[in-house]
């Protein structure tokens, strides 16, 4: 018996690295991208409201409970330039990964193409493959910024969408609004969908202003914006996110979500309602600690000199290191866990193959407080110094 479709999908790297960490107790993880803090108390308090209504133990609307939809639309209007009744709809999802898979299934048929930027977020590439489509990977430039001409050149008659992520996972870069507008206009002109992932919308440093494609009235019919509470509100395990989609895709996405999930977990939706009532200040008040960790890392990396290149990362909580070495990235990861008790993620899983004297590592610092971060980054730098010579 064969399982050809799944054989074409890469194995998820996070669980593989987690198993290596388990085998080496005391390892500090700079691997998985999660926030160091948990949900606000108001989110936990909403569970009482959930339990007060016996009907909440039954199925609820496929696209989300009305009170949460209302809270999301209020947030979008206040922060993102969204206009209610503008031809867009909100769909609550079990995290933005589900939102992305919903989007791909809704706009494609098997054999179609979706353009990703390399390095890509591995779950996006996996979702495209699972849908029976082909990921067309367009390299970003040496600073991991969009190459607009290359994106346009990659469009074929089978292209159905272009994906952008900003702030970016795995690079931490932020795409300028002007570049995102060019991609959005290109999609409009060529009859394509623009899928934009904003999971890290609040994680911006050095005075970088926020920008959302839902603010573009000309993007109403072809833009799908993905959001998540996992990072901003410490909600990773609650699995709640949402999509802002064209009205024309509402019913196709309801069909997909009803088949795959029926409805997002209702208890998590109540918790999300409490979080949104607290508002984005909850996340912004914690950015200071992340900024401190970011500065610790940047300072420590200077000791590596030209052996490691780190393009500017002004968002999310990642650095994508470019190492001058003949070691394959996974071998470096295994060495660091075994010898230094510190874990990172190999760049291969983001579409950056090792070779020609170069490999890549993603360093995630969001889960660490400043004290643990200093220790973890110190171990990483020491290990790389030994390895690179």
Mean pLDDT per 10-residue segment, the chain (389 residues): 77 89 95 92 96 96 98 97 91 97 98 98 97 97 97 98 98 98 98 98 96 96 97 95 98 97 97 97 94 92 93 94 96 96 96 93 90 90 92
Structure tokens at 227: 């959001």
Distance CA(136)–CA(148), nearest Å, equals: 14
pLDDT of residue 3: 62
Sequence-separated (6 or more) residues with CB below 8 Å from residue 60: 263, 266, 269
What torsion do the CA atoms of 280, 242, 138, 134 make, to the nearest 10 degrees?
Answer: 160
pLDDT of residue 12: 84
CATH number of 41-280: 3.40.640.10
Distance CA(322)–CA(361), nearest Å, equals: 7
CB 342 within 8 A of CB 25: no
pLDDT of residue 1: 58
List every span in the chain annotated with CATH 3.90.1150.10: 4-36+286-388
List every span in the chain annotated with CATH 3.40.640.10: 41-280
Q: For residue range 19-65, what is the model confidence (pLDDT) as tens digits?
A: 999 999 999 999 889 999 999 999 999 999 999 999 999 999 999 99
Q: Which CATH architecture has domain 4-36+286-388?
A: Alpha-Beta Complex (3.90)
Instruction: Report phi then psi at 197, rounded to 5.
Output: -100, 120
Structure tokens at 184: 């959005």
User: Max Cα separation, the chain?
Assistant: 64
Distance CA(251)–CA(242), nearest Å, equals: 15
CB 129 within 8 A of CB 8: yes
pLDDT of residue 108: 98
Provide the pairing of β-strand 308-309 with 318-324: antiparallel
Distance CA(155)–CA(27), nearest Å, equals: 44
Q: Quick one: 337 exposed, middle or buried, by C-beta within 10 A (0-12, 13-18, 19+)?
A: buried
CB 76 within 8 A of CB 244: yes
Distance CA(105)–CA(255), nearest Å, equals: 10
Whose structure tokens read 């290596």?
20
């Amino acid at each position: 018996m064969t399982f050809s479709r799944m054989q074409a999908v890469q194995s998820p790297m996070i669980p593989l690295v987690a198993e290596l960490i388990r085998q080496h107790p005391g390892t500090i993880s700079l691997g998985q991208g999660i926030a160091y803090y948990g949900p606000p108390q108001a989110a936990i308090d909403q569970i009482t409201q959930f339990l007060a209504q016996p009907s909440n133990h039954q199925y609820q609307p496929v696209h989300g409970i009305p009170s949460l939809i209302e809270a999301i639309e209020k947030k979008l209007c206040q922060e993102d330039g969204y206009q209610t009744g503008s031809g867009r709809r909100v769909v609550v999802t079990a995290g933005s990964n589900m939102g992305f898979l919903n989007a791909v299934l809704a706009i494609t048929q098997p054999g179609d193409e979706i353009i990703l930027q390399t390095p890509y977020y591995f779950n996006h590439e996996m979702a495209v493959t699972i849908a029976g489509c082909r990921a067309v990977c367009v390299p970003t430039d040496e600073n991991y910024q969009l190459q607009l001409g290359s994106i346009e050149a990659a469009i074929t008659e089978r292209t159905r969408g272009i994906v952008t992520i900003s702030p970016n996972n795995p690079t931490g870069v932020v795409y300028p609004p002007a570049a995102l507008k060019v991609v959005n206009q290109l999609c409009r002109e060529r009859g394509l969908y623009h899928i934009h992932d904003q999971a890290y919308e609040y994680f911006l440093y050095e005075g970088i202003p926020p920008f959302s494609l839902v603010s573009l009235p000309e993007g109403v019919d072809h833009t799908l914006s993905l959001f998540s509470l996992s990072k901003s509100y410490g909600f990773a395990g609650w699995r709640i996110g949402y999509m802002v989609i064209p009205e024309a895709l509402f019913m196709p996405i309801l069909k997909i979500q009803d088949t795959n999930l029926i409805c997002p977990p209702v208890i998590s939706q109540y918790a999300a309602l409490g979080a949104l009532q607290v508002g984005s200040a909850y996340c912004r008040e914690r950015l200071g600690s992340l900024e401190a960790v970011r500065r610790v890392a940047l300072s420590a990396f200077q000791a590596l000199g030209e052996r490691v290149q780190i393009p500017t990362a002004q968002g999310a909580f990642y650095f994508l290191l470019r190492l001058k070495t003949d070691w394959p990235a996974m071998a470096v990861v295994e060495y660091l866990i075994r010898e230094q008790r510190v874990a990172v993620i190999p760049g291969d899983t983001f579409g950056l193959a090792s070779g020609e004297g170069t490999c890549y590592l993603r360093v995630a610092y969001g889960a660490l407080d400043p004290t643990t971060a200093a220790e973890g980054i110190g171990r990483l730098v020491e290990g790389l110094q030994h390895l690179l010579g």
